[in-house]
Amino acid sequence: MQYVKLGSTGLEVSRICLGCMTYGVPDRGNHEWTLDEEASRPLIRQALEAGITFFDTANVYSDGTSEEIVGRALRDFARRDDIVLATKVHGRMRPGPNGGGLSRKAIMTEIDHSLSRLGTDYVDLYQIHRWDPHTPVEETMEALHDLVRAGKVRYIGASSMYAWQFSKAQYTARLHGWTRFVSMQNHYNLLYREEEREMLPLCADQGVGVLPWSPLARGRLTRDWDTTTDRSAGDVFGSRLYPEGDRTIVEAVTRIAQERGVPRAQVALTWLLHQDTVTAPIVGASKPQHLQDAVAAVELELSDKEIEELQRPYTPHAISGH
């Protein structure tokens, strides 16, 4: 495994981050395709054994049970100081007023619930899962800053939003002397490259680390276009993200993977790892082979010609995943 600094911070993270949305009680929350605790634990352990130290979850994943499963497994299999643990806030956790969003009340409540589910005193990276248009950004940024001051959070990050929103949050924090975001977790993969227009140049300019979510387009980049799996069949959100025209990109991945004799997932992940702006893709792994491919991708090299071939079929997409 390789380790890099997260953006311009001193924090070292593994080049692969394990996405823990895959782990959660299947009949809690919105993801009925998740692995239960018994099936999740060996994969979390395998990730640790492969040198992965960076784990991403969210309060909202499987109604908090992802945080519980990940927290227990990391306590059993790792030392807290060796791990970079990331979670998120914004999604709705309860019906009724203040059950979601980025108000001071929601943030202060949700961090305590996340810490209790994760079984830890602090989160390394606390991310806002989305932009909250109904809360003044000053209120959100000050509340996040206060969590850092209180020692509950080491760094703060953001996730999918428009570049103008991210920029506004950053300059608001700077104006007030509050903590700024060190990372952007955004939707970026060979099938969705709209982030290359505004968000990625902004992150590069400002020294913000980039953590792409769904780096394999939720599995689309790893198999024939028409093949479905248990997860893809029940993945309502994912089914809206990638139009039919993306088939040609999957075919380009397939060609290069066949020429090299490696699984398609390795080619697609290596392409992302070759992008200068990318710190660590957040990979979803539901089988041991998925982790093996993710780790192997860190060492794979693609030629300029192969990269060009992978990129050529891309056509502009409507903004999605915000």
Ligand X SMILES: NC(=O)c1ccc[n+]([C@@H]2O[C@H](COP(=O)([O-])OP(=O)(O)OC[C@H]3O[C@@H](n4cnc5c(N)ncnc54)[C@H](OP(=O)(O)O)[C@@H]3O)[C@@H](O)[C@H]2O)c1
Which residues does the annotation mark as catalytic?
Answer: 61
Smallest CA-to-CA distance from 18 within 42, 48, 38 is with 48
Q: Are 205 and 184 in contact (CB under 8 A)?
A: no
Beta-carbon contacts of residue 100 (< 8 Å; ≥ 6 apart): 90, 91, 92, 93, 94, 106
Q: Are 186 and 9 in contact (CB under 8 A)?
A: no
Binding residue for ligand X, selected from 263, 267, 271, 280, defined by CB under 6 A: 263
User: x/- site string to ligand X, residues 102 to 141, per CB under 6 A?
Assistant: ---------------------------x------------
Count residues near ligand X (CB under 6 A). Answer: 30
Which of residues 3 and 237 has its CB atom nearest to ligand X in the complex?
Answer: 237
Q: Does 279 bind ligand X (CB under 6 A)?
A: no
User: x/- site string to ligand X, residues 227 to 246, per CB under 6 A?
Assistant: --x-xx--------------
Q: Radius of gyration over alpha carbons of the chain, in Å? A: 19
| 20-39 residues near ligand X, rule: CB under 6 A | 20-22
> What is the DSSP code string of 161-224?
--HHHHHHHHHHHHHHTPPPEEEEE-B-BTTB-GGGTTHHHHHHHHT-EE--BSTTGGGGGGS-
| 160-219 residues near ligand X, rule: CB under 6 A | 160, 185, 213-219
Q: Does 100 bind ligand X (CB under 6 A)?
A: no
Site of tokens 């891309």 = 314
What's the rounded Cα separation, in Å, for the pair 246 and 224?
A: 11
Q: Does 14 bind ligand X (CB under 6 A)?
A: no
Q: Does 145 bind ligand X (CB under 6 A)?
A: no
Q: Does 257 bind ligand X (CB under 6 A)?
A: no
Q: Does 89 bind ligand X (CB under 6 A)?
A: no
Instruction: Catalog residues that contact ligand X under the rule CB under 6 A.
Output: 19-22, 56, 129, 159-160, 185, 213-219, 222, 229, 231-232, 263, 265, 282-286, 289-290, 293
